[in-house]
């Protein structure tokens, strides 16, 4: 079994290790031995545990799962040169990764919040030679999509990385609307969750425009509600949200 070396023992490392633990040996590198032990206990498989200070990354396959602000400090503590570095760090460029951690190849990946339920939409870019392995590793936490540039991963971050917040706003406000019309809060929340669950499956099969056409009968209730969303500029606001989030990502 191939070994994957996690640098960092937080939530993202745990979610990915959960998906990989049956097919790979897990090695875990962090700064607190008690947390490494706790990680192993929760994961329920044997984990090779090491402290960060002077850890030798020579010829290893690394999965970097620390915070973006820790890259310089972590890089200073490692020795040797890795075969490949897979990073999950938001907004951290290939150049910054390469200049702080010695490695022959780098792949940048961008999971989203749904990694915690093993259903992330993860985008990837970097050394093309590692495309297949990167996709295989990150599919352990959901869907993957390889992109051809860092510009594209920044745009995709505005869509899939920030997307859960945008959909949460829609989810909460639709439920609020139902409560405003007299539905009990518990019922409104349960119905909203069911709506998103079914919609999540449907949108895999049907183009959004056809979905909308399919449910909107002439002069009917959906058409009335849909008109209100257009009055509220929801479409333009969504397009604008992606632009603002992408621009912000390029300024970080
Ligand atoms: N969570 C998400 O949904 C999500 C989505 C996309 C991308 N990401 C990226 O995933 C990365 C990890 O996020 P997370 O949610 O797993 O965070 P987390 O649970 O807070 O874990 C952060 C890890 O970084 C370690 N760390 C913190 N400061 C350090 C330092 N100075 N030196 C060495 N290690 C240090 C922590 O070690 P200790 O345990 O010892 O404190 C911990 O293992 C982030 O870069 C984030 O951008 C996360």
Collapsed DSSP state (helix, strand, coil) of residue 8: coil
Ligand 1 pocket residue status of 35, Cβ below 6 Å: yes
Beta strands in 2-159 (DSSP E): 3-7, 25-30, 47-51, 61-64, 82-87, 103-110, 120-126, 142-146
Ligand 1 pocket residue status of 4, Cβ below 6 Å: no
Ligand 1 pocket residue status of 163, Cβ below 6 Å: no
**Contacts of 159-164 spanning 24+ positions with Cβ under 8 A:** 159/242, 160/110, 160/112, 160/121, 160/122, 160/123, 161/90, 161/110, 161/112, 162/241, 162/245, 163/112, 163/121, 164/112, 164/113, 164/114
What are the 10-residue block averages of pLDDT along the chain, 252 residues in total? 97 94 96 98 98 98 97 98 97 96 98 92 98 96 97 96 97 98 98 98 97 97 98 98 94 78
**What is the model's pLDDT at position 136?**
96
Please check whether residue 195 is in contact with residue 175, taking contact to mean a CB–CB distance below 8 angstroms: no
44 token code pair: 């329920």
**What is the model's pLDDT at position 146?**
98
Ligand 1 centroid, distance to 32 Cα (angstroms) = 13
**What is the model's pLDDT at position 85?**
98
**What is the model's pLDDT at position 250?**
84
Kindly give the number of the ligand 1 atom that is closest to the alpha carbon of 116: 3
Q: Report the alpha-carbon distance of residue 65 to residue 19 in Å, rounded.
A: 15
Ligand 1 pocket residue status of 19, Cβ below 6 Å: no
Closest CA to 7 of 100, 139, 99, 93: 100
Q: Report the alpha-carbon distance of residue 49 to residue 202 in Å, rounded.
A: 43
Ligand 1 pocket residue status of 147, Cβ below 6 Å: no
pLDDT in tens, 233-250: 999 999 999 999 999 988
Mutate to test the pocket of ligand 1, among 64, 65, 77 (most ligand atoms within 8 A of CB): 65
Ligand 1 centroid, distance to 148 Cα (angstroms) = 26
pTM: 0.91
pLDDT in tens, 181-223: 999 999 999 999 999 999 999 999 999 999 999 999 999 999 9
Please check whether residue 6 is in contact with residue 29, taking contact to mean a CB–CB distance below 8 angstroms: yes
């Amino acid at each position: 079994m191939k070994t994957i070396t996690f640098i960092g023992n937080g939530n993202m490392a745990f979610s990915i290790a959960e998906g990989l633990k049956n097919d790979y040996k897990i090695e875990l590198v962090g700064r607190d031995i008690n947390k490494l032990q706790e990680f192993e206990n929760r994961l329920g498989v044997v984990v090779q545990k090491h402290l960060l200070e002077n850890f030798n990354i020579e010829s290893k396959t690394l999965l970097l799962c620390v915070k973006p602000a820790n890259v310089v400090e972590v890089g200073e503590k490692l020795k040797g040169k890795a075969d490949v570095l897979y990073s999950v760090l938001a907004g951290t460029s290939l150049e910054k990764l390469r200049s702080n951690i010695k490695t022959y190849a780098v792949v940048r990946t961008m999971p989203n919040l749904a990694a915690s339920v093993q259903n992330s939409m993860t985008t990837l870019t970097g050394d093309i030679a590692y495309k297949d392995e990167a996709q295989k590793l990150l599919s352990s936490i959901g869907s993957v999509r390889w992109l051809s540039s860092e510009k594209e991963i920044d745009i995709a971050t505005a869509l899939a990385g920030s997307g859960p917040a945008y959909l949460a706003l829609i989810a909460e406000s639709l439920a609020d609307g139902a409560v405003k019309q007299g539905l009990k809060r518990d019922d409104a929340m349960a119905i909203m969750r069911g709506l998103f669950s079914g919609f999540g499956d449907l949108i895999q099969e049907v183009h959004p425009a056809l979905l909308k056409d399919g449910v909107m009968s002439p002069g009917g209730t959906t058409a009335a509600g849909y008109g209100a969303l257009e009055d509220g500029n929801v479409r333009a606001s969504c397009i604008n949200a992606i632009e603002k989030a992408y621009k912000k990502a390029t300024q970080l």
